[in-house]
Amino acid sequence: MKKVKEESTELTEDLKKWLSKIDFSDTFLTTNHTNNIEEIVNLVFNTTPKWIALLFKLRNKIACFIGLKTKEPDDYNEDFKVGGYIKFFKIYFISENEVVLGADDSHLNFRAITNKSNSDSYNIKVTTLVEYNNIKGEIYMRIIKPFHEKVVKRMVKNAYVKNDNYSES
């Protein structure tokens, strides 16, 4: 069994409500029956390998030249509550089994939805939704898409915990 797998994103009404339109989406899954949703979200989004941190730094150096956000917003705080932030991701929603993070910028808006279910395997689902605000957003996404997939897959892997009650053959 792989630690992380990708699946096609089913654009349910629950997902569609987070953006006015969805131009890009992907979904990665892993297994973790040990941690609660807050701990899982922190493992995914706050535990960054050095190579990913370097990619984000490079992205920010380039982004500032084309007018994209690179600085912390005025309301930045690290409280795990709606309106707080995990890195540069704003928290939009928290429940016992779901957290919605995201950011809005001139070129695109995105949401990262983390769900925890009771499935034996692959019970953690991280879905990325992107809405292009203009052609700059579409071009930006085309450029970063190959990096996005590798980065998100690696970030989701941070939350993996083997389920000893499930045969992983």
| Positions of the chain with pLDDT under 70 | 59-70, 165-169
CATH entry, 5-157, from 3.40.720, 1.10.3470, 1.10.10, 3.30.530 = 3.30.530
Report how far residue 150's alpha carbon sits from residue 14's, in angstroms, rounded to the nearest whole number: 26
The CA–CA distances, whole Å, from 60 to 70, 72, 88, 163 equal 5, 12, 11, 37
What confidence score (pLDDT) does residue 169 get? 45
Provide the 3-class DSSP secondary structure of residue 166: coil
What single-letter DSSP state applies at residue 139?
H
pLDDT tens-digit series, residues 94-111: 999 999 999 999 999 999
pLDDT value at position 47?
A: 79
Instruction: Map out the domains of the chain as residue ranges.
Output: 5-157
Q: What are phi and psi of 24, to 5 degrees?
A: -150, 145
User: Scanning the structure block, which residue is given the tokens 């429940």?
Assistant: 95
Are the beta carbons of 11 and 26 closer than 8 angstroms? no
Q: For residue 10, what pLDDT is reported?
A: 93
